[in-house]
Chain A
Amino acid sequence: MLAPMTTGLDPFKAEVVRWMRAHAPAALLGARRGAFDGYWGGRRATPSEDERVWMERCLERGWTAPGWPTQYGGGGLAPDQAEAVSQAMAELGLPPPLVGFGLAMIGPTLLDHGDEAQRARHLPSIVDGSIRWCQGYSEPEAGSDLASLRTRAEMDDDGDWRVSGQKVWTSHADASDWIFCLVRTLDDDQAPKQAGITFLLLDLSQEGVSTRPIELISGSSPFCEVFFDDARARADDVVGAVHGGWAIAKALLGYERTMIGAAMGGATDSAEADLVAFARAQLGAPKGPLPEASLRHDIASNAMAEAALRLTIERVRQSREAGGAPGPESSILKLVGSELKQRRHELAVRAAGPQGLGWEGPGFDEEELLRTREWLRSRANTIEGGTSEIQLGIIARRVLGLPKPSGQRG
């Protein structure tokens, strides 16, 4: 009894699939790696010819942002049709034509909370990939406790804003053109700390802004520090009210969770098969049951949990499609997805044993080196995008209805 989940969409989706087969560069069919593996755009981007062609062809139909209004360059599609476009790409194994924090985070935020002038000024350059955005939230003294941020913005004589301070963990800041960031416009003694924050859009290509990449335990990383030294932002680039940025910031975090949740769906059956193949090679066991019984058990156990997570993502999708808001189960996706991914990388290094100790150079093959770097990188999965502890707190309070812990403000 395989009931179709959508009625009346099939002819539309069939037409989308036909068009994609005809217009996608042949080399991209089947080349999809994940929902967020694709062309990121921006002034400094150097897309491959196939990426450029695929992006431009989709752009003509508004399919870099299928659900956004046509006046900003979007496809103007209803949510179920926009979903059908994404599904068609996934089913054909096509990478998304354009990805990034513009499409996934600041764009939806401006659509819901920006004013018309802001939408008209910023959305078209997101849709056509000409401007790449990054997210300026965390600071050295404001991690999980984000509202403790200290980067200051003061209004100058022209009514514009002058920004000084530092952001950290800003993904891809060195490859981005604009930043959406949280700045302090009222001091703690003037207002509760959440009530003195403003949500500001800022051009990175100006004097007074510098970026520096951060080296991680896994080596180089997309993370940067961003320094503002009297940098300028336009008065009309405040989203929401001045001092009223916290509400916008939280709305954007909702879009971020959705994005991370969708990216979690990337752990497919092939992740289990890849890990097993690597373990077989490392253990010298080309077939039959894996000889290390406890490793075999742990690989299966983790793969089963990942299968259950994939099914949970599908359940969330179906309840959203059925017209409801996503149920409480959606709150577990980031927590569970990041932990299972981490454990999968751990199992690879465990399978490699001493061969999993290589950093670079002779004596270690390429896959061994990569698996070890991935393992180290994966330690950040439970920290970035809201730590596991923050996620657990959100589930406890918003889903389970437990009270705010004693002694915790904010």
Chain B
Amino acid sequence: MSPLRLLPDEDERLLADTARPFFADRSPVGLVRELRGDPLGFPRELWGEVAELGLAGLALPEAHGGGGMGMRALCQVFEAAGRTLSPAPLHATLLPALLLTECGDEAQKGAWLPALCEGRAILGLAHSERGARYERLHVETMARTDAGSDGFVLEGDKVQVEAGPAADAFVVTARMQGDARQRQGVSAFLIPANEEGLEVRAQTRIDGRSSALLRLRGVRASRGAMIGPPGALADPLDRVLDLGAIAVAAEMLGGARAALELTLDHLKTRVQFGVVIGAFQALQHRAARLFAATELAASAVAAAAAHCDGDDPSDVPRMASLAKARAERAFLDVAKEGVQMFGGVGVTDEYDIGLYLKRAQAASATLGDEAWHTRRWANLTGY
């Protein structure tokens, strides 16, 4: 077997060359600050431009208006967006779109995927619940058969639904049977945002990302709103969450690299005791370690993406955990050390390094933190 290709090919390099200046120009770091209090959490026109460039549906099938590209290509875009902490809902829309692509019927895909790729519609994945922490199949929201029809009635609460305030519809996971963490019995339903009984309330997070609480009380879902076979969504959901974890890891890699560059600029210009502080060996050695962590993360992300694009997907779960864990080690360490090296101004709202720290923490706590993925690695490796 030839080794996995870990370097970008011509198309992927071209994509990175397009995406990087785009996000730097249209979604600079300071945008996060400007958007505070904004009901959506990102500018609609930014998302429209993302879609125009073909980035909104880059990895979705061409038959439904997507770009048909692989995970390596997608990771280039996430890394570029991560560099500037872009609030564009790339990740928020990726997860429900992938689940629809894998499990949806033609009517469901036709209704949502082209609109999503063109930036006309936004979908959110309403999956996380308060008691779940990182357990992937912790679903307490119930879907009971509706006495008066062949449909279902949904009851439950979802938390931190990405892009929730802006979503036109949600892919809502709900349990048809079993206890909270059982693999069997989980289904998903397409629910329009204005459905009766559904309440969407914006949440405010440290990283400013668009996020919402969903309260479902007697929400009706027709038979045609169910995605995939009843009660059997555990496996596809696992796969989609792995792809999502790799995408977040790529975004974190971009954040780590940008935050390290920002910090190095500071080390090279800030003068104390008559020298630039980057001349102090204590800081040099710590900066060198941050660089090493970032390069390890880059290799892990490249390999995880390459496994997704390859013929043998069996090792994707382990590689996804590797990428996510190493990305956290890089981004969170760079951001924390960056704040320390900036000194007093590092903890002021005026400086960007603090924005990187908040996003590093939020991204780390998305789809499993380092400790969770380390435990999962041990499980999957057989110890």
A contacts, CB < 8 Å to B: 1-5, 272, 276, 279-280, 289-290, 296-297, 299-301, 303-305, 307-309, 311-312, 314-315, 318-319, 322, 328-329, 332, 335-336, 389, 391-393, 395-397, 399-406, 408
Please judge, given known A-B contacts A311-B300, A311-B302, A402-B264, whether A300 and B375 are in contact too, CB under 8 Å. Answer: yes
Which residues of B from 309 to 356 have beta carbons under 8 Å from A? 309-311, 321-322, 325-326
Interface size on B, residues (CB 8 A): 50
A3: B residues at CB distance < 8 A? 2, 5, 9
B18 proximal to A (CB < 8 A): no
- Name the A residues within 8 Å of B289 (CB-CB): 392
Q: Is chain B's interface secondary structure helix, strand, loop, or mixed overall? A: helix
Rounded to whole angstroms, the CA-CA distance of A311 and B278 in the bound complex is 30
- Asked whether A402 and B383 contact (CB < 8 A) given A305-B296, A314-B6, A393-B284, the answer is no
A400→B72 CA distance, assembly (Å): 27
Say yes or no: B299 contacts A311, CB within 8 Å.
yes
B5 touches A392 (CB 8 A): no
Task: Pick 24 A–B contacts, CB within 8 A, sort by A.
Answer: A1-B310, A2-B2, A3-B5, A296-B383, A300-B375, A300-B377, A303-B377, A307-B322, A308-B297, A312-B295, A312-B296, A314-B4, A314-B6, A329-B298, A392-B284, A393-B285, A400-B264, A400-B284, A401-B264, A402-B278, A403-B268, A405-B281, A405-B284, A406-B275
**What is the bound-complex CA distance between A374 and B17, given in angstroms?**
47
Complex CA–CA separation, A182 to B295 (angstroms)? 34
Tell me if B288 counts as interface (CB < 8 A to partner A).
yes
A306 to B365, CA, bound (A): 23
Chain A residue numbers with a CB within 8 Å of B3 are: 5, 314, 318
Q: 6 closest Cβ contacts across the A-B interface?
A: A396-B284, A311-B299, A395-B288, A308-B296, A300-B378, A332-B292
Q: Which residues of A contact B278 (CB under 8 A)?
A: 402-403
Q: Is the pair B287, A396 in contact by a Cβ cutoff of 8 Å?
A: yes
A1 lies within 8 A of B287 (CB)? no
| Given known A329-B295, A389-B285, A400-B287, contact A311–B378 (CB-CB < 8 A) | no
User: Please, which residues of chain A bring their CB within 8 A of the CB of B310?
Assistant: 1-2
> How far is A395 from B284 in the complex, measured between Cα atoms in Å?
9
- Is the beta-carbon distance between A405 and B279 smaller than 8 angstroms? yes
B291 within 8 A of A: yes
Q: Are B9 and A315 closer than 8 Å at their CB atoms? A: no
Known: A289-B379, A296-B378, A399-B291. A304 touches B371 (CB 8 A): no
User: Is the contact region of chain A dominated by helix, strand, or loop, or is it mixed?
Assistant: helix
Q: Which of A299, A308, A391 has the most CB of B within 10 A?
A: A308
Assess A393 versus B5: contact at CB under 8 Å? Given A304-B325, A402-B268.
no
Q: B288: which A residues are within 8 A, CB to CB? A: 335, 391-393, 395-396, 399-400
Whether A315 pairs with B302 at a CB distance below 8 angstroms is: yes
* Bound Cα distance A272, B280 (Å): 37
The CA of A390 and the CA of B383, in the complex, are separated in Å by: 37
Is residue B381 within 8 Å, beta carbon to beta carbon, of the partner chain?
Answer: yes
Residue of A nearest to B282 (CB): A405
Within 8 Å CB of B377, what residues of A? Answer: 300, 303-304
With the chains together, A290 CA to B375 CA distance in Å?
11
Q: Is B7 among interface residues, defined by CB-CB distance under 8 A?
A: yes
- Whether B326 pairs with A308 at a CB distance below 8 angstroms is yes
The CA-CA distance from A299 to B381 in the complex, in Å, is 11
Taken together as a complex, chains A and B put the C-alpha atoms of A3 and B1 apart, in Å, by: 10
Min distance, Cβ B266 to any Cβ of chain A, angstroms: 11
A387 to chain B, nearest CB (A): 11
Chain B window 61-86, contacts with chain A (Cβ cutoff 8 Å), 1 for yes, 0 for no: 00000000010100000000000000
Contact A402/B284 with A1-B309, A300-B375, A335-B292 known, Cβ cut-off 8 Å: yes
Q: A289-B378, A301-B374 are in contact. Are A5 and B2 (CB under 8 A)?
A: yes
Complex contact B322–A308 (CB within 8 A): yes
Could you tell me the distance between the alpha carbons of A262 and B115 in the complex, rounded to whole angstroms?
50
With a cutoff of 8 Å between Cβ atoms, the chain B residues found around residue A389 in the complex are 285
**Contact yes or no, B311 A308, CB < 8 A:** no
Q: A300-B375, A309-B296, A396-B287 are in contact. Are A402 and B267 (CB under 8 A)?
A: yes
Cβ of B295: which chain A residues have Cβ within 8 Å of it? Answer: 312, 328-329, 332
Bound CA span A332–B288, Å:
9
Contact of A2 with B5 in the complex, beta carbons under 8 Å = yes
- Min CB distance B373 to A, Å, is 8
CB nearest to A276 among chain B residues: B383
Once bound together, how far apart are the Cα atoms of A408 and B1, in whole Å? 49
Contact A299 B292 (CB under 8 A): no
B9: chain A residues within 8 A (beta carbon): 3
**Chain B residue, CB-CB nearest to A329:** B295
Of the candidates B279, B309, B322, the one whose C-beta lies within 8 Å of that of A403 is: B279
Q: State A103–B161 Cα separation when bound (angstroms).
A: 59
Q: Are A395 and B291 in contact (CB under 8 A)?
A: yes
CB contacts (< 8 Å) of A396 on chain B: these are 284-285, 287-288
Determine the distance from Cα of A393 to Cα of B291 in the docked complex, in whole angstroms: 12
| Residue of B whose beta carbon sits closest to that of A322 | B7
Query: In chain A, what residue has the closest Cβ to B5?
Result: A3
Which of A290, A399, A408 contacts B378 (CB under 8 A)?
A290
Check if B262 is an interface residue, CB within 8 A of chain A. no
Task: Give the shortest distance, in Å, between B378 (CB) and chain A (any CB).
Answer: 4
Q: Shortest Cβ distance from A204 into chain B, in angstroms?
A: 37
Instruction: Verify A297–B311 contact, CB threshold 8 A.
Output: no
- Please tell me if B14 contacts chain A, counting CB pairs below 8 Å: no
Q: Output the least CB separation between A260 and chain B (Å).
A: 15
A396 to B299, CA, bound (A): 20
Given A297-B378, A318-B5, 18 other A-B residues pairs in contact with their CB atoms under 8 A: A1-B310, A276-B382, A276-B383, A296-B378, A300-B383, A303-B377, A311-B300, A314-B4, A319-B7, A322-B7, A329-B299, A336-B292, A392-B288, A392-B289, A402-B278, A403-B268, A405-B281, A406-B280
C-alpha gap A280/B264 in the complex (Å)? 44
> Are A297 and B326 in touch, CB under 8 angstroms?
no
- Nearest-neighbour CB distance to chain B for A286, whole angstroms, equals 11
Best-buried of A297, A303, A304, A315 by chain B (most CB within 10 Å) = A304
B303 part of interface (Cβ distance < 8 Å): yes
Residues of A close to B375: CB separation below 8 A: 296-297, 300
Q: Which residues of B have CB within 8 Å of A272?
A: 381
Contact status A312-B299, CB under 8 Å: yes
Beta-carbon nearest neighbor of A397 in chain B: B284
Q: Is the CB of A402 within 8 A of B297?
A: no
Q: Mark B360-383, 1 if CB is under 8 A from A, else 0.
A: 000000000001001101110111
A residues within 8 A CB of B374? 297, 300-301, 304
Closest residue of chain A to B261, judged by CB? Answer: A400
Kindly state the separation between the CA atoms of A405 and B281 in the bound complex, as whole angstroms: 6
Q: How far is the CB of A46 from chain B (nearest CB, A)?
A: 37
